[in-house]
């Protein structure tokens, strides 16, 4: 019999809006996962919007991976990183007794970006939403200028 061991959810803007059905629907689905014998890995790759409710508080960061292991609930593992950091490698829990799979997010997203040719559609000169402070904006501007010359 096939049993789902883990689920990876990538949050969308509608999951993070204060008012709207998207957030309510996601939180309902999330509760179903958290009440099941399935590990849940949530990737919040959006700086804006409401963060997911968690027990305790999130560490400082712009982006998060939240890992909820069946045997450790309601406690979760948090991986946080900033706009300037590369995406981390994160552990993904498998079935009891098996070692975690390590997912190198930077490599995964780099491969998807390249194969999907996002360089042709992403508007790097558009203003960031939500905006960043002046120092971060200067860093972004320098980084995108370097990419245009390479």
**What are 42's strand-pairing partners?**
9, 66
Between CA 122 and CA 115 the distance in angstroms is 14
Bond from prior residue into 130 cis (ω within 30 degrees of 0): yes
> Residue 87, Cβ neighbours under 10 Å: how many?
19
SS3 for 103?
A: strand
Question: What pLDDT shows up at residue 93?
Answer: 97
Asked whether the predicted pLDDT for residue 3 surpasses 80, the reply is yes
pTM check: above 0.85: yes
Asked whether the predicted pLDDT for residue 8 surpasses 90, the reply is yes
Q: Calculate what percentage of the chain has a pLDDT beyond 90.
A: 79
| Mean pLDDT taken over the chain | 93
Between CA 80 and CA 61 the distance in angstroms is 5
pLDDT tier, 106 (very low <50, low <70, confident <90, very high otherwise):
very high
Question: What pLDDT shows up at residue 70?
Answer: 96
By CB atoms closer than 10 A (0-12, 13-18, 19+), residue 12 is middle
Question: What pLDDT shows up at residue 147?
Answer: 65
């Amino acid at each position: 019999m096939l049993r789902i061991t883990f689920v990876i959810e990538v949050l969308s803007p509608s999951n993070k809006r204060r008012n709207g059905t998207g957030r309510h629907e996601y939180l309902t689905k999330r509760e179903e996962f958290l009440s099941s014998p399935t590990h849940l890995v949530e990737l919040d790759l959006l700086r804006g919007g409401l963060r997911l409710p968690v027990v305790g508080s999130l560490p400082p960061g712009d982006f998060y991976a939240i890992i909820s292991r069946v045997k450790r609930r309601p406690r979760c593992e948090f991986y946080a990183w900033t706009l300037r950091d590369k995406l981390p490698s994160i552990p993904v829990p498998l079935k009891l007794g098996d070692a975690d799979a390590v997912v190198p997010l930077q490599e995964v997203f780099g491969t998807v970006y390249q194969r999907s040719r996002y360089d042709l559609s992403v508007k790097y000169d558009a203003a960031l939403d939500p905006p960043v402070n002046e120092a971060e904006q200067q860093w972004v501007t320098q980084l995108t200028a370097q990419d245009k010359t390479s």
